[in-house]
Chain A
C-alpha cells in the first residue's frame, strides 16, 4: 500500500528526530508569517495553525477517481446555480422544494437572468471530503463562496520539501506549486465580454484584519496581480478602475475574498465600508468578472447540500461518483422524528452558518446539551440538518506522546475556467489534533498536513 513509504520512513526515523523537524517546521512558518486569526476567542488573534510533519498520502488511482468525482460535482453545482437564476427547471421538475431555494437568504434575486462570463459561477470551489471506509470518499460540504486554505496547501508543501528533501527525491510526489498559475489562467479565461485586451486581474481583500489576509496577500503575490481593498477601486460608467500613481487603470477580473453582502454598498449592505460602490452594476453590465460569482451561496447552503446528488443526475444524466454523507433534513416531518429519536448518535448542524460553532455532536454531548438541542430542533426544524457520526479515517500524526492516529479530512481546490476544470493534485488535509476529535476546523483546534498524491 502507498502508506508503506510513510511507515518505512517513520520506522527509520527516531521520534526525537521527528520532534526536531517539527520545531524546525514551526520556525519556518513563523518566519514566513503564515497565520490564521480565530474568531470568538480572546487573547492573541494571530495564531499559527499547527502543522503536522507526517504527510497524508493518496495513491494515483484513488486520486484520479476522486478528481473525476470532484469535477462532476462542480459541473453540476455550476449548472444548478445557472438554473436557479434563470428558469429554475430543477424546481419545476420537483427535485428540490422551491421554497428551500426561493426563500433562502443565499438566493440572490439581483442575479436573476444574468449570465456571468463564460457561464462560470464557481471559479474556485473547496470541496470538503472525508473517507469513511476503505472504499470511498464522501463529500462533507461544498464551499462555493470564498473558500480559503489553499495557501496552507502550498506552504505545507514548501516546508516539507525543505525539511525532507530526500523523501521528495526518492518518491514521485505530484507537484502543487503551479496552483497560482492555474488560478491566474482560470481568472483570465473568464474575462468579461467587454474586455478587448489582456485582462487585468486584481485580488480584492477585506483588509488586514481579516482572518485570511495572509492568504490574500500570498496569492496576489504569487500570481503577480495587485492586492486591493474596496477603497482602492472606483466605478465610473459601470467600469471598474483601480487608483494608481499613474492614474486610473481599468480592472477586468476581480478575485474577491469579500462576502456578497459587503461587496458593494450601492447594491447590498449600505453600511459596508470594505466594498466598492457600483461593483455589482459593473458586473451586470458585462464590464467586470467577479470570481466567485455573486449568489453562489445558494449551492453550498447546508439545506441544499442533500440535493447535490440529484443535481448530478438531473443536469448531467450521470450517477454521482462521490456520494454525500447521509443527511436528514429536519424540515421533513419523518426525518425530524428520526433525528429526535436518535439524537445521541447524530451530528446536528445549522443549515446556515459555518465554522463548526453551532453544531451538536450527539455522542459527546451531555444530557442537558441534548435536551437543549432537541428543543431548538422542535422550535425551528427548518434550520437544521443531521448526519450520522462518521467513522472518519485517521492518519498517523505526530503528537506529544509520539505517533498516533488522528482524524483527517481533505479540501481539494477545484478551478473552473472558461474551457476546463483543473485540480491541483491533493489539496489541504486538515487534522483533528485532539484525541478522538472529529472537528478539523482550525478555529476548533485543528491542524494541517501536507497531502501527497503519488504518481505512477
Chain B
C-alpha cells in the first residue's frame, strides 16, 4: 500500500516566546514491511533541521528558534510503501537487545491491579496467544475516551480510570507484558484509517512485544489488532516519555495554542 502523510503542527503564543527547542521523532525508517520513498521534516522558521539517530534508532530532528516569535509551524511530509506482515517486524535496525525492554518505567509500572489482570491470561498456552488475549483484555478494561487521561497518566491510573486513549492502551499492554517477562516497547507513528479520519486517529500509538521465534510483533490494543500495512512507525522507546514524537522546552509565554492537522491517505486517492 502506498501511503502519503501530511502532518502540520502550528504553535501560536499569546505573547512572544524567546527561545524554543524541540526534539522531533517523526521520521519512519525502512524495514521489511515498509519502504520510505520520500520524507521531510521542515520548519517555517528557516534552514533544514539538523538530525541524528538516537539511542533507540529513531531518526531525530532538532528544531530550535532563538529569537522572539509568536508562531512556529512544523511540516512533515512523506510517502511510504507498506505491506501487511501481520504485525511481524523484520529487517529493522535494532540497536538495543530485547532484554532491555523489560526495564520498568514510572509510566509502565505494574501495580497490583495490572499484575492481577496479567494473571488472567497466563493460562493461555503459547506466548503469542497470551499476547492476543492481553490485546483484548486491555481494550475491555480501558474504554476509548478522549480527555479521561493526559500524557502523564500511568498505566495503573488508566486501568483504575477504566478509560483512556491509544497511549494508555499501549502503556497498559506494555506494563502487563513486562510483568509476564515479555519484552515490550512503545511505538509512536501514523495510522491510515481508510476513511477521512480525525487527526487524533491518524497520529497513533501502539506497542510491540518480543515473541520467541517471531521477533518483535506490533500489537495495537486500542484497535484490538496486530499492526498491518496501515501503520507507519516513527518512534520507539520504553514508554511515551522516551518515545515522544515531539518533546520541547520553551522560554517565555505560557499560553500556547496548538493547531494540528494530520492526513494519511492512499496514493492516488488524495483529496
Give residues in A with beta carbon < 8 Å to B: 85, 88, 98-99, 102-103, 107-114, 234-238, 265-267, 270, 277-278, 281, 284-285
Contact = CB atoms under 8 A, between A and B. Distances in A.
A109 B249 contact: no
Given A102-B103, A266-B21, A278 B52 contact: no
A235 B55 contact: no
A278 B56 contact: no
Contact of A237 (B62, B95, B242): B62
Nearest to A287: B50
B226 interface: no
Contacts of B23: 266-267, 281
Given A234-B19, A265-B249, A270-B249, A110 B62 contact: no
Nearest to B23: A266
- Most A CB atoms within 10 A — which of B53, B97, B249? B249
Contacts of B62: 235, 237-238, 278, 281, 285
Listed from nearest, the 7 A-B pairs whose CB atoms lie closest are A112-B55, A277-B249, A110-B55, A238-B50, A109-B55, A102-B100, A278-B21
Contacts of A88: 97
Given A109-B56, A266-B248, A235 B64 contact: yes
A414 B116 CA distance: 51
B60 interface: yes
30 contacts: A99-B99, A102-B97, A102-B99, A102-B100, A102-B103, A103-B102, A108-B55, A109-B96, A112-B95, A113-B55, A234-B66, A235-B21, A236-B64, A236-B66, A238-B50, A238-B62, A238-B64, A265-B249, A266-B21, A266-B22, A266-B23, A266-B248, A277-B249, A281-B23, A281-B52, A281-B62, A284-B52, A285-B50, A285-B52, A285-B62
Interface string B34-74: 00000000000001001011111100101010100000000
Contacts of B242: 109
A270 B95 CA distance: 25
Contacts of A267: 23
A46 B250 CA distance: 35
A103 B103 contact: yes
B247 interface: yes
Contacts of A236: 64, 66
A266 B248 CA distance: 6
Contacts of B50: 237-238, 285
Contacts of B21: 235, 266, 277-278
A371 to B, nearest CB: 29
A112 B97 CA distance: 11
Contacts of A111: 55
Contacts of A235: 21, 62, 64
Interface residues of B, number: 28
Interface in B228-252: 238, 242, 247-249
A112 B249 contact: no
Interface string B94-112: 0111011011000000000
- Most B CB atoms within 10 A — which of A103, A237, A265? A237
Contacts of A266: 21-23, 247-249
Contacts of A85: 55
B163 to A, nearest CB: 26
Interface in B197-223: none
A108 B103 CA distance: 12
Nearest to B242: A109
Nearest to A284: B52
Contacts of A285: 50, 52, 62
A113 to B, nearest CB: 5
Contacts of B99: 98-99, 102-103
- Most A CB atoms within 10 A — which of B55, B103, B248? B55
Nearest to B46: A237
Contacts of A270: 249
Contacts of B60: 281
A172 to B, nearest CB: 50
A108 B248 CA distance: 20
A109 B239 CA distance: 13
A266 B249 CA distance: 6
Contact of B47 (A110, A237, A284): A237
A85 B54 CA distance: 12
Contacts of A109: 55-56, 96, 100, 238, 242
Contacts of B103: 102-103
Nearest to A265: B249
Contacts of A113: 53, 55, 57, 95
Contacts of B248: 266
Given A238-B64, A285-B62, 7 more contacts: A109-B55, A109-B100, A238-B62, A266-B22, A266-B248, A278-B64, A285-B50
Nearest to A108: B55
